[in-house]
Amino acid sequence: MNLTEKILSLDKEALKIIKKAENESENLIKKGEEKYQKIIQNYQQKVQQEKENKMKEIEKEILKLEIQKKKELEIKKEKIKKINEEKVAKKIFEKIKGEICK
């Protein structure tokens, strides 16, 4: 084998090595992109789940506050009703007292 043949042979071998390295590089990039997509997808799922959980907590808190407000309003309503009944009873009593004392 002469020098030219050896150079051509080494050149072919170098091209094979370069092609193999390019293929392996493409495979690594593809695998990396797949892993990246899985990581992003998992992260998005976790974020969505956390969002749903927070929304449920907020809805529960809103419902709790609504119930509390209703109770407070009912208590105020009962107090006002009692005060009004006492005022009416007092007026009636005063009227009866006025009639009796005449």
Give 26-48 pLDDT, tens digit per residue.
Answer: 999 999 999 999 999 999 999 99
The pair of three-digit structure tokens given for residue 66, joined into one six-digit string: 């609504």
- Mean pLDDT in the chain? 93
Detail the DSSP E strand segments found in the chain. Answer: none
Instruction: Answer yes or no: is pLDDT of 98 > 90.
Output: no
**Predicted TM-score (pTM) of this structure:** 0.55
Tell me how far apart the alpha carbons of residues 98 and 33 are, in angstroms, rounded to a whole number.
95
Instruction: Answer yes or no: is pLDDT of 19 > 70.
Output: yes
Distances in Å between the Cα of 19 and the Cα atoms of 6, 8, 98 are 20, 16, 116
pLDDT of residue 102: 64
